[in-house]
Copies of this chain bind each other. A is one copy, B any other.
């Protein structure tokens, strides 16, 4: 497997999981959280595909493509270790869909971070809400779901409250 192969699998799996999760949470009114904006490709995909729900973006520093940059009132700037607890105060357990792609190139570091951030995401989800992640998460009360068609095992994970 080359880095190109791995990357394609990750992108294709993200899209398959997001499309599935967006459709599956269509009946929920609560906002969508994009954790990690990066270049803004998955945010662009969410914005074009999610209907009638607010999308909030969590990012340390905005560096996205101009056409994939959230309006200031939908950008929550700072370290998610701080901004997610604040978001729980503000939004309560109302999130219909959370997508996290916070990892870098170091698998071990990503795993350590996934363990730390999981308990901050868990209480935010609405009943029936879904969480899509590029890294395995560590939730006590959420159920891991089977991947939709087209997603590659290990490249994407879906959880449901």
| Count of chain A residues near B, Cβ 8 A | 21
Residue of B nearest to A7 (CB): B41
Q: What residues on B are CB-neighbors of A42 within 8 Å?
A: 4
Q: What residues on B are CB-neighbors of A67 within 8 Å?
A: 3
Q: How many angstroms from the CA of A12 to the CA of B40 in the assembled complex?
A: 19
User: B14 and A11: CB pair below 8 A?
Assistant: no
Of residues A2, A12, A105, which shows the largest number of chain B Cβ atoms within 10 Å of its Cβ?
A2
User: A4 and B15: CB pair below 8 A?
Assistant: yes
Q: How many angstroms from the CA of A8 to the CA of B11 in the assembled complex?
A: 7
Q: Nearest 5 pairs between A and B by C-beta?
A: A4-B45, A2-B45, A3-B44, A4-B41, A2-B48
